Structure 1
């Protein structure tokens, strides 16, 4: 090779090496610049996201800890441990799904826990001497502050965080100041707490998180929960979580960013210099745009998570408040009417429990799609959580048009939905409120719509109800009535009235029905129709029903001890009481406590209650029959029993509802129904009692049809007091009312 050739080759090599180095340096520079940009933007996204999640965790914790405030109020109101702790705790737990149990710890020693099952080991624990929480517990007592401890390994098993709320009661001895009574504690299940945040959804999207309780004097660092894998140290963000009397830290990051591949191509630069340069130019030119598109996509995902329901894609509660507020501001200038429709699927929980949450989710998606199809493009459809939906209608028109649309929506949602090879039919209750007539703020409209929805459900579900000002008054009165009834249960304001059940062939009393009355200190004597609905709504119907059972048993035992005549006493069992998981245990306990012969008791259970979940019903009825208690189907004929179903039920008596007896003399259809029931009862060897008998004509017709036992004003009104004597029949006023 000539010297010139060597020089050219050397020059080319040097130039190639220079180009390689220049392109490699340029590519490295752009790559590092873009990586830094991506990391900064990713860090900004993570910061926004961690702020949202911290707010969610704080809100969920504070909401869960509100349960201790409610229970502490009960302790202060009772001047110590409330007598109905279990009932009140059960009521509170229904409203706080993250709380797994509630505890009362007078002087720091756990004396009561609900639910008891599974938490027996927690009883008797002295929280001042329990190592992991002793220091924090003492500090909570001294500082008069609610304290959150945890996560802790519970002595009854499992892991949870515990909120302890110190309770101070007035010092009755000194007449001034107060003394430390003890703690009201709520055990918050970590898994339940996590399940209602977006953290698990974010973990599936590539985010990592760890909620940590930092180390403190005498307490080691502890992870509350974590997910998504190890934190990426390149973009980890940290934010404190404000918890009562403690400090938690939420750390969050996203998976490693995409990295350039420039160095891999550098090894080929000496062979394919031109191609590599062209590729590098293309790469450098397109990379910023790709990164911006990636950031835009991630930002849209974050916005979707923050403002839309993940399941249905509808607006969530947060965005609904903002958009409803905006619609109200626009309405102020335009003068139009904004309507808010608040919807709730009736008995949706039953579908979830019987067919699973996956089917329930599919049903919610179908409901969302049907709602979208019934409104205009500029209207707002939102899912507020669970089976609750809302629709905001701009320029909704008059009340008549709005009612027509609402009824159309209810009808569309009521069409069958084909899921898992079955046609599911759901009904919908709806409450409607309008601005500016019913309110001028989003919060006020939502509150009033909720009241209207509640009124719709009280009408029997699958109804539409407009808000009116009386609903606020009724809600306040109902709350006061519930509070008065709770007080009445513990202050002997309730009494029993007894109405005779008569054998019309012998004019002889063969049984009594026990009915409850309330001697209200301000409103006077209240009939059941005035307070039973409030008792059912608040859950007080369960302790009320057991009070009636215990009182009847005590009255029967008193007559036995006095050697007075005896006939069975029938009492009504409410649907909630019948389905209560402690029903059989409580009945057996009352029988043992009073020593009453079970064959003197007859439980009247409505037909619709017995037909709901037939297998469970038969099991409960067999258990009652095993105790020796008679069973009566109350209000028979108003439900949907068939002869085949009745044959499966171990019942003794059918009570024909008064609605069939009332017009027996004029209504041929009622007469046919009564005759059919009596004939069917004879075939099944069941007793029959006709209710609401008030005239001679009614009695005589029933006797002619073969009915032997009746109950009604013709033979006697309910009499308040002890169980009456049966030696003689109270004279009826046949001539006066015939």
Structure 2
């Protein structure tokens, strides 16, 4: 009890110290914040003062120009004095802020507009008046405008007077002789009101305006607001005038703001310091409870670290941590084990089409079945996703491993019922033997992965036990993939062209572009030997775009040589047709090579269309809008219906060579070909027959009204230079398949 009481007092002392420290720090930051606030307010006030001074200076300068205008008119012609009222009225209408305009021939004010209220100024001798004499004589001497004031006027009020000396500008005797003064009277009160000073006063600002005499330094304050200036927050701005400068002083009381800010921040500081001190106090007086909680959470984390949260099976971390011990156990007791690595075939489709929640339930069911199929000594692990590992620690023989692998296949294939849905899964297993294939986890996983790849390659839903030949095959496959990527990059792939001819006109109207690989070691490699590799390695889109680009390059080459135009057909795979970048890429090629779309055709097989008929139709319509010819390749061998065909933007059907090959001897093939041609023509679709190898086949196709032909009888696929020299018009009867 005493020990706990000591701990409580120590905790209270520490918490109090923390409270004092935090509150002191907060007070320091409050001081900094208030200082910064005051500086910002001073900067703001300085900007307002400069802006206000500039506005007053602008208004005065504009008003001063009135005397210069009047002086200029009188200087040109002194007789214009008769029109003084008219001039003065126009000037005051054009320039605001002027109270009256005066004209003083020989320095004596004789004309005032408006006269009402200003009669007391008539007859005032500016040159001899003690208040105005010095400034007036200086104006005559320096021949420039002066500003007098602020001064108290004889007619009452305080104003600024702008005086401009007038000199005769006539030639001859008396030229440049002093004539008199043009003066403008600008009352300060309306001028200051228009400049916004009164608005600032209503917003709580204190303002004063003063003028310091240039010689005596005597200060004359001619305007002051009712609110007194605050010297602690005072800023000043100069107003420059022809007679000197004025000083605008401006202040604003921010003490209330500072006081409010200080109270609010101190309240927040007290709250923050109290919360921190109280929280720390509670932590310090509960060390035992916290320690128990930490121990409990540590045990839970250790358990979670080695367990998959979805299925409850051991996870990848468990495998990495314990696999070394398992292998050592198998080796030490000279026993036999197996490492089975597998995933669920096509499991991704469940997540993509039905949802991840259902996919998770499927994984839980599979995990339960796997646990029931293994013995207590075996270890079932979920690596992540749909990947699992089963480690057999006491397998008696290879046959026993095979038996357990088959049980795994059987249990995963059983129907799974989830939320009124039924699923049937299959799996592919890759198996490595312990210690035959390695005694390190990384080695076993690599070998099992190779075996799993082989199981999938053989058609999935089976198991494969690793052997060294698989590793070599995998290495060879990897090397081939790299070689193909290099071939595309270094343009080792070339195009050969098989001419397509019009059966009626006996003219070459197009060609089919066929890709070949000029392998640096194997020589010319045909597409059957590398297209599957491109599809399997994910390079088919890059390869397809390469063929499209090379086809456009060749058409541009023919145009440059001035050769006869052709329609060049390019084969498209299902992956290309589903590629969202296909149409933009074709548009790019059309723009880059300046080749119209109607010189390009794309051939698509029926099976390619069936993968996603709606998407295929949309893509083909977009290609059709570019002028591209759409052809169905190998027609008759797939599963297309006439209903689908009429809804697709098809220009050309290519009859498969299997129907043409036995055309002379097989009555059924003849009827099929004739029916396809008739049907296509009814749908306004042209027909080309491929695989034409004899004159008899060609003539028979002519009799069926087939439009185009392609085959060895005219030409095998030939290289670019040979196709450049191929004649446009041919006499087909003179050709023989063996001579080409």
- What TM-score comes out, normalization by structure 2 length? 0.53
User: Per the alignment, do residues 697 and 728 of structure 1 end up closer, same or farther by CA in structure 2, a change over 3 Å counting?
Assistant: closer
Indicate conservation of the 8 Å contact 1:519/1:526, yes or no: yes
* Candidates 726, 729, 735, aligned match of 1:727: 729
For residues 257 and 713 of structure 1, the distance between their equivalents in structure 2, rounded to whole angstroms, comes to: 94
462-471 or 565-574, which deviates more: 462-471
For residues 477 and 231 of structure 1, the distance between their equivalents in structure 2, rounded to whole angstroms, comes to: 66
Query: 5 Å matches for 1:44-123?
Result: none
Aligned length: 470
Question: For 1:329, what is the secondary structure of its paired residue?
Answer: helix
Indicate conservation of the 8 Å contact 1:692/1:712, yes or no: yes
Query: 5 Å matches for 1:592-631?
Result: 592-631=591-630
Query: 5 Å matches for 1:707-726?
Result: 711-713=710-712, 715-722=714-721, 723-724=723-724, 725=726, 726=728
1:500 equivalenced with 2:499 (yes/no): yes
Q: Specify the alignment match of 2:304 in structure 1.
A: 305
Indicate conservation of the 8 Å contact 1:565/1:727, yes or no: no
Question: For 1:514, what is the secondary structure of its paired residue?
Answer: strand
User: Per the alignment, do residues 624 and 401 of structure 1 end up closer, same or farther by CA in structure 2, a change over 3 Å counting?
Assistant: farther
Indicate conservation of the 8 Å contact 2:431/2:448, yes or no: yes
Q: Deviations over 1:280-304 (max 9, x none)?
A: xxxxxxx99x998x88864553233
Deviation at 1:599, TM superposition (A): 1.6
Query: 5 Å matches for 1:467-486?
Result: 467-486=466-485
1:567 equivalenced with 2:566 (yes/no): yes
User: Per the alignment, do residues 486 and 312 of structure 1 end up closer, same or farther by CA in structure 2, a change over 3 Å counting?
Assistant: same
Q: Deviations over 1:572-611 (max 9, x none)?
A: 2233333333222111000111121212211123444433
Q: Deviations over 1:314-355 (max 9, x none)?
A: 222222244444443333244444233322334433433333
Q: Specify the alignment match of 2:432 in structure 1.
A: 433
Deviation at 1:387, TM superposition (A): 2.5
Question: For 2:438, what is the secondary structure of its paired residue?
Answer: coil
User: Per the alignment, do residues 354 and 405 of structure 1 end up closer, same or farther by CA in structure 2, a change over 3 Å counting?
Assistant: same
For residues 662 and 398 of structure 1, the distance between their equivalents in structure 2, rounded to whole angstroms, comes to: 55
Indicate conservation of the 8 Å contact 2:509/2:565, yes or no: no
Indicate conservation of the 8 Å contact 1:512/1:567, yes or no: yes
For residues 430 and 381 of structure 1, the distance between their equivalents in structure 2, rounded to whole angstroms, comes to: 14
For residues 709 and 407 of structure 1, the distance between their equivalents in structure 2, rounded to whole angstroms, comes to: 55
Q: Specify the alignment match of 2:381 in structure 1.
A: 382
307-316 or 572-581, which deviates more: 572-581
Query: 5 Å matches for 1:419-458?
Result: 419=418, 422-458=421-457
Question: For 2:530, what is the secondary structure of its paired residue?
Answer: helix
Q: Specify the alignment match of 1:150 in structure 2.
A: none
Deviation at 1:661, TM superposition (A): 6.9
Q: Specify the alignment match of 1:512 in structure 2.
A: 511
User: Per the alignment, do residues 643 and 448 of structure 1 end up closer, same or farther by CA in structure 2, a change over 3 Å counting?
Assistant: farther
Q: Specify the alignment match of 2:631 in structure 1.
A: 632
For residues 338 and 666 of structure 2, the distance between their equivalents in structure 1, rounded to whole angstroms, comes to: 45
For residues 671 and 316 of structure 1, the distance between their equivalents in structure 2, rounded to whole angstroms, comes to: 64
442-451 or 542-551, which deviates more: 542-551
Question: For 1:616, what is the secondary structure of its paired residue?
Answer: helix
Q: Specify the alignment match of 2:535 in structure 1.
A: 536
Query: 5 Å matches for 1:157-172?
Result: none
Deviation at 1:719, TM superposition (A): 1.6
686-695 or 450-459, which deviates more: 686-695
Q: Specify the alignment match of 1:652 in structure 2.
A: 651
Q: Deviations over 1:470-516 (max 9, x none)?
A: 33223333333333333333433221011234566777655321111
Indicate conservation of the 8 Å contact 1:716/1:732, yes or no: no
For residues 489 and 544 of structure 2, the distance between their equivalents in structure 1, rounded to whole angstroms, comes to: 14
Q: Specify the alignment match of 1:319 in structure 2.
A: 318
- What TM-score comes out, normalization by structure 1 length? 0.53
Indicate conservation of the 8 Å contact 2:506/2:729, yes or no: no
Unaligned runs of 5+ in 1: 1-24, 33-229, 236-254, 261-286
For residues 336 and 657 of structure 2, the distance between their equivalents in structure 1, rounded to whole angstroms, comes to: 47
683-692 or 701-710, which deviates more: 701-710
For residues 296 and 499 of structure 1, the distance between their equivalents in structure 2, rounded to whole angstroms, comes to: 78
For residues 231 and 533 of structure 1, the distance between their equivalents in structure 2, rounded to whole angstroms, comes to: 68
For residues 303 and 322 of structure 2, the distance between their equivalents in structure 1, rounded to whole angstroms, comes to: 15
For residues 654 and 533 of structure 2, the distance between their equivalents in structure 1, rounded to whole angstroms, comes to: 25
Deviation at 1:422, TM superposition (A): 4.6
Q: Specify the alignment match of 1:361 in structure 2.
A: 360
The root-mean-square deviation of aligned C-alpha atoms, in Å, is: 4.8
For residues 683 and 416 of structure 1, the distance between their equivalents in structure 2, rounded to whole angstroms, comes to: 49
634-643 or 551-560, which deviates more: 634-643
Deviation at 1:307, TM superposition (A): 1.3
Q: Deviations over 1:605-640 (max 9, x none)?
A: 344443334433322222111111122334556665
Q: Specify the alignment match of 1:345 in structure 2.
A: 344
Larger Rg, first or second structure (1 or 2): 2
Indicate conservation of the 8 Å contact 1:486/1:540, yes or no: yes
Deviation at 1:718, TM superposition (A): 1.9
386-395 or 655-664, which deviates more: 655-664
Q: Deviations over 1:167-220 (max 9, x none)?
A: xxxxxxxxxxxxxxxxxxxxxxxxxxxxxxxxxxxxxxxxxxxxxxxxxxxxxx
Q: Deviations over 1:46-79 (max 9, x none)?
A: xxxxxxxxxxxxxxxxxxxxxxxxxxxxxxxxxx
Indicate conservation of the 8 Å contact 2:506/2:730, yes or no: no
Indicate conservation of the 8 Å contact 1:662/1:692, yes or no: yes
Deviation at 1:554, TM superposition (A): 2.1
Q: Specify the alignment match of 1:132 in structure 2.
A: none
For residues 685 and 467 of structure 1, the distance between their equivalents in structure 2, rounded to whole angstroms, comes to: 57
Question: For 1:552, what is the secondary structure of its paired residue?
Answer: helix
Query: 5 Å matches for 1:120-519?
Result: 298-299=297-298, 301-396=300-395, 402-403=401-402, 405-406=404-405, 409-410=408-409, 412-419=411-418, 422-501=421-500, 509-519=508-518
User: Per the alignment, do residues 403 and 622 of structure 1 end up closer, same or farther by CA in structure 2, a change over 3 Å counting?
Assistant: farther
Question: For 1:434, what is the secondary structure of its paired residue?
Answer: strand
Question: For 2:524, what is the secondary structure of its paired residue?
Answer: strand
478-487 or 666-675, which deviates more: 666-675
For residues 257 and 666 of structure 1, the distance between their equivalents in structure 2, rounded to whole angstroms, comes to: 101
For residues 354 and 296 of structure 2, the distance between their equivalents in structure 1, rounded to whole angstroms, comes to: 36
Indicate conservation of the 8 Å contact 1:554/1:596, yes or no: no
For residues 370 and 482 of structure 1, the distance between their equivalents in structure 2, rounded to whole angstroms, comes to: 38
Indicate conservation of the 8 Å contact 1:499/1:512, yes or no: yes
702-711 or 415-424, which deviates more: 702-711
506-515 or 444-453, which deviates more: 506-515
Question: For 1:719, what is the secondary structure of its paired residue?
Answer: coil
Indicate conservation of the 8 Å contact 1:341/1:390, yes or no: yes
For residues 420 and 670 of structure 1, the distance between their equivalents in structure 2, rounded to whole angstroms, comes to: 51
Deviation at 1:676, TM superposition (A): 8.1
Deviation at 1:525, TM superposition (A): 2.0
